[in-house]
């Protein structure tokens, strides 16, 4: 039997990682690209399976799938990062995916796989960028058409303790809360024109 979301979340909380969208994520703020390269090189020296995304001023790190081994690696990486004088930043551990509502996923998945040059992902129906650059796309089964609602919305998976701040900021920026019935798994928000986005966490899914 695998670890629950609650077990994973608690195991990495003090290490500065968060459980987001079936994986472990954190980020490290650095002053320069050179420093980012140093952090990435040191991390890869102890865990070459970690996904490393270097951006100006930041190194994002991810581990998936999550077992006891990945939890141990996350802790070791955090120790290494702290030895370098930096601190893992879980608030930056955001993972973006695109969700498309559909009546027949099998009918439209091939189009999205082709037009995006994506491949099938580990959580079907889902397609992912084999280059690791773009967000994954997953397909939400609908029972009836929703002609008066956009058939696309954005899912933003965030650390569970980042969700309240993110929702508050969205509402302050003119957004509206469409539904919190499934919270804390997800909250449905919309902009002033009705375009929807869901803020999601691991909680409420076990």
What whole-number percentage of the chain has pLDDT above 90? 70
Of 59-68, 86-95, 190-199, give the range with the top mean pLDDT: 59-68
- Please state the rounded mean pLDDT for residues 94-112: 90
Q: Which residue has the higher pLDDT, 93 or 44?
A: 44
Residue 44's pLDDT is: 95
Residue 143's pLDDT is: 86
Residue 144's pLDDT is: 83
Residue 30's pLDDT is: 96
pLDDT in tens, 160-200: 999 999 999 999 998 999 999 999 999 999 988 788 899 99
CA 162 – CA 72 distance, rounded (Å) = 23
Strand residues in the chain grouped as ranges (E): 18-20, 23-29, 51-55, 58-63, 95-102, 119-120, 126-128, 136-141, 152-157, 176-179, 186-190, 196-200
For the chain, the average pLDDT equals: 91
Under 8 Å between Cβ of 3 and 40: no
pLDDT classification of 149: cutoffs 50, 70, 90: low
- Please state the rounded mean pLDDT for residues 24-32: 95
Q: Phi then psi for 35, rounded to 5 degrees? A: -65, -35
User: In the structure encoding, which two tokens stand for residue 164, read together?
Assistant: 């309240």
3-state secondary structure (DSSP) of residue 193: coil
- Report all structural domains of the chain as residue ranges with CATH numbers, in order of start: 5-92 (3.30.1360.20), 95-200 (3.10.180.10)
């Amino acid at each position: 039997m695998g670890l629950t979301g609650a077990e994973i979340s608690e195991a990495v909380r003090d290490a500065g990682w968060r459980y987001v969208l079936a994986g472990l994520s954190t980020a490290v703020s650095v002053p320069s690209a050179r420093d980012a390269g140093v952090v990435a090189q040191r991390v890869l020296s102890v865990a070459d399976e970690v996904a490393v995304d270097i951006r100006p001023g930041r190194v994002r790190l991810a581990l998936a799938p999550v077992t006891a081994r990945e939890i141990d690696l996350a802790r070791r990486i955090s120790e290494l990062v702290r030895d370098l004088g930096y601190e893992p930043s879980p608030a930056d551990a955001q993972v973006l995916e695109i969700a498309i509502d559909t009546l027949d996923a099998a009918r439209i998945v091939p189009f999205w796989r082709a037009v995006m040059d994506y491949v099938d992902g580990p959580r079907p129906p889902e397609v992912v960028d084999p280059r690791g650059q773009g967000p994954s796309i997953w397909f939400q089964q609908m029972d009836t058409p929703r002609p008066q609602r956009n058939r696309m919305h954005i899912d933003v998976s965030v650390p569970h303790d980042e969700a309240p701040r993110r929702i508050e900021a969205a509402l302050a920026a003119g957004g509206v809360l469409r539904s919190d019935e499934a919270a804390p798994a997800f909250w449905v928000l919309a902009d002033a024109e009705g375009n929807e986005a869901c803020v999601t966490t691991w909680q409420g899914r076990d």
